Structure 1
């Protein structure tokens, strides 16, 4: 029996109608235009009840997360920028028994071989990667960022636009690396930390800290588990 291309179309909803969610939708449109994958965007989910029944990008706001309970076949992308918020929403979705998370990679991104990319991760336009790296689940790698050899990006990491990550770097779960930051080779950044925009990381950083500057230095520490 011959298969139609429509047999491979995957239905998709995006959580969040803000700027990042709408950027995800634009990314999906680019993926479909390139023919590298086929997604049918069916609408949005949002916690703001005032938006339910309205339209964004001419697509309906279908409701909140419980909508997924009646639609187990639909894939979901969580278009929320803060790593701790994204984690909380993913856990709520899993608690509903929903297991389909979309992995979205812009067709202009350079993706190496011998790599691992987890479910729910989104890689945006003009990202450049090399080889032998590992990216966890629900990671966001934004426009024009660079990921080098042997890097490990754990779950829920945010990499903002134009970040440069040198080789053999480990970035802990939920860490948020700001726009145009640079991380030197062989370093480790602990979980749930923040690296400020434009910072240059020349030494490893502990968990749960905020670091800024060139060279980057911790200026704030949070209690372990602050993100829960």
Structure 2
């Protein structure tokens, strides 16, 4: 029996997640997508990709049998929505893996995580809750991506890398082996990280260097 699911976030990545669900169903029917959820005041039409925009947290709380996936690209925004859902709703979070992603046998995925088409993860890898692994990303052996990490298209995580909570790795960025990326940092698109990075920084370039420091706790008000 197909489980009912809603997508929180009606932007571009929300539509990509809908395609992930449809591609999963094309292999083996698993989900019945009922529509999109957004926060009050978010500017979007009444229907997106042929499905209704149903409401927000209140709608979800009134429909406790509906599963949820949070399709917000911002790590900080995703965390805020997820925390509100946990506080006010009994709904369960779905973990979605595109059928054309390849995951080794010893890859652990947390709840609410999304793995898109073309992603590759080898072995002995831990991926936390509400992580996004976008199109064409690669993750090497013994890597760990903690909760709310965002790995955007073509990001390359080498073996024995640790990426702490909330860090965003830009498109085409490369993280070399044994690097540790701090909490709630950003690696710019195309950067090459050759050494570990601290918490709450923005790093860019080849090799990546810290270009900006953020105040601790910035993500709570982002």
What is the TM-score with the length of structure 2 in the denominator? Answer: 0.96
Structure 1: gaps spanning 5 or more residues: 1-6
Alignment of 1:1-228 (within 5 A): 7=1, 9-35=2-28, 38-49=30-41, 54-228=46-220
Shift of 1:115: 2.1
Structure 2: gaps spanning 5 or more residues: none
Work out whether residues 39 and 55 of structure 2, in 8 Å CA contact, stay in contact via their aligned partners in 1.
Answer: yes
In terms of mean alpha carbon deviation, does 41-50 or 183-192 score higher? 41-50
**Aligned residue-pair number:** 220
Structure 2 Cα separation of the partners of residues 85 and 112 of structure 1:
30
RMSD: 1.4
Q: In the superposition, relative to structure 1, how do residues 219 and 30 fare at CA in structure 2: closer, same or farther (>3 Å)?
A: same
The structure 1 segments of at least 4 consecutive aligned residues displaced by more than 3 Å after TM superposition are 48-53
Q: In the superposition, relative to structure 1, how do residues 112 and 56 fare at CA in structure 2: closer, same or farther (>3 Å)?
A: same
| 1:147-178 deviation per Cα after TM superposition (whole angstroms, max 9, x unaligned) | 11100000000001111111000001000000
Which has the higher Rg, Structure 1 or Structure 2? Answer: 1
Secondary structure of the 2:123 match is coil
Secondary structure of the 2:6 match is strand
Work out whether residues 49 and 63 of structure 1, in 8 Å CA contact, stay in contact via their aligned partners in 2.
Answer: no
Q: In the superposition, relative to structure 1, how do residues 50 and 179 fare at CA in structure 2: closer, same or farther (>3 Å)?
A: closer
| 1:35-80 deviation per Cα after TM superposition (whole angstroms, max 9, x unaligned) | 1x51000111112457688211221111111111111111111111
